[in-house]
Structure 1
Amino acid sequence: MKKFTTGMTVLDSSLGGGIPAGSLVLLVEKPGAGAEIFSFQFAVEGVKKGESVLYIATDETFENLVDHIKVYFPSFSTNDKFKLVSFISSATSDVVSFLKSSKHDPLGYIRKLFSNLRYDRIVINNLNNLVRNYGEEEVVSLIEELSRKVKKDEAVALAILVEGAVEKKVENTLKAIADGIFEFDVQERENEIQRRLKVIKLRRCMVPKNVFRYDITEKGIRIESLMRVI
């Protein structure tokens, strides 16, 4: 079975080599837990491997997102293998084209990208903004289409969802559609910020029985090699 590495060796090893092709994975996070940085690392890993990457930003400009990625991956640069679509930027000709074509139907434009082009890795950052602006039914339908797309293309998609920011029934529906659920937690304990990652489910893969402690570093997410068994 083809698998896609995340760029985090400890996690990839625990998953038997990475995330299985054909998977839609929901990244459910508490605010500030670092799911966005996880998505950066996943996208950059794809570019390093020469894979095609589609990154959809729903609440950040093209320029700000690229600058944010470069905080952790300074050598990163967009190229023909990396397509970034921003819902709120007009700084590049690509995004200007997006705004013109999606003026009345932005989700329709995204659907066209899914149907007309093939990508190895797809990231949606984030679903909360989509639900708020376009409604839960439209977003659930979009995620169902994305799930079918990655299975057909043997690709992997990540979609970020901030915990508690949408109605519980919507969150549960999205979790049911997803092939995988990664939960990101952040807490303050003994004057220290501690972050943990749990793999709740991942189809076609043995789910690790571990809680992964991780830090956000100048090189992205670093998962501790010593893991806690639950």
Structure 2
Amino acid sequence: MARRLSTGINVLDRELEGGLPAGSIVLLTAEPASQSELFLYELTAARPTLYLTTVRSDQAVIDGIERTNTRTGDPNVRDVGGDAPLDQANRLIGTLPEGATLIIDVVDSLERYDRARFRRFLNELQTVMVNTGGLAILHGLNGVDVPDNRDVTAHVADVVFDLRTTITNAEIENRLVVPKFRGGKALAEPIKLRLAESVNIDTSRDIA
């Protein structure tokens, strides 16, 4: 079995039998109004992290991390959302050290490039991650305007996390579905999560 790396989220590591295979690309999809950012912040705790933001400013991300009460690291946050975001991301990814975590939040703007160019970016990213033995987390939004290349991202990704948020009159329910897991086994059932100050398993009983 491939060497596992901690995600930085203890409850998730337990469900994944120790974490994620080193060198993996992970696609985390979620609705824009979900608490998926809490996931990203906790993912910075396990190892040195390069955090590329394409929508919010780098200072907005840093402020968000500092305001959270959960366990985080001290990521190198860079704003690549200006001109030529794919080129900027490529240049910074080439500087990743051994065993680091890369977060791209969000990947949508890169997915809007020409398919051949985006495919080349993903294949080069895969080579970098295998060579450095780290983890790449691509955060994709499941909003009203999902990029056409999202299918390409999901196909190339080694692991797919799909965070599904349901809002009712009684509660906000978050379930993490893991339909794809190269180097391990996909989870047979969704994980019900409580996303408040940190990521935790929701142990409340479902009411039919």
- Is TM > 0.5 for Structure 1 vs Structure 2? yes
Deviations 1:115-159 (A, max 9, x none): 344251000000113345x55544333222212211121111100
CA 1:205–1:74 in structure 2 vs 1: closer, same or farther (change >3 Å)?
Answer: closer
Residues 96 and 132, structure 2, Cα contact 8 Å, conserved in 1: no
Quote the offset at 1:197 in angstroms: 0.5
Cα distance between partner residues in 1 of 2:34 and 2:205: 18
Of 61, 64, 69, the match for 1:65: 61
1:216 and 2:200 aligned: no
Aligned partners of 2:178 and 2:123: how far apart in 1?
A: 21
Residues 30-70 of structure 1: per-residue CA shift (max 9 Å, x gap): 22222222111101x22xxxx32111001111221111112
**Alpha-carbon separation, structure 1, partners of 2:157 and 2:41:** 20
Which structure has the highest helix share of the two?
1
For residue 91 of structure 1, what is the aligned residue in structure 2? none
Check 1:107–1:155 CA distance in 2 against 1; reply closer, same or farther (3 A cut): same
Given candidates 79, 85, 90, the residue that maps to 1:86 is 79
> How far apart are 1:73 and its partner, in Å?
3.7
How many angstroms apart in 2 are the aligned matches of 1:185 and 1:195?
6
Equivalence map 1:1-230=2 (5 Å): 1-43=2-44, 45-46=45-46, 51-73=47-69, 78=74, 82-87=75-80, 105-119=84-98, 120-132=100-112, 134-164=113-143, 165-167=145-147, 169-218=148-197, 220-224=198-202
Moved over 3 A (4+): 73-78, 134-140, 225-228
Unpaired segments ≥5 residues, structure 1: 89-98
Conserved? CA contact 1:197–1:213, under 8 Å: yes
Q: TM-score normalized by structure 1? A: 0.77
TM-score normalized with structure 2 length: 0.85
* Shift, 1:200, TM fit: 1.0
Distance 1:118 1:200 in 2: 29
Q: Give the conservation status (yes or no) of the 8 Å contact 1:69–1:76.
A: yes
Aligned length: 203
Q: Aligned to 1:124, what secondary structure does the other structure show?
A: strand
Q: Is the 8 A contact 1:8 1:223 kept in 2?
A: no
- The unaligned stretches of length 5 or more in structure 2 are none
Give 1:225 deviation, angstroms. Answer: 5.2
Query: For residues 135 and 221 of structure 1, do their structure 2 counterparts lie closer, same or farther at Cα, with a shift above 3 Å needed?
Result: farther
Identity %: 24
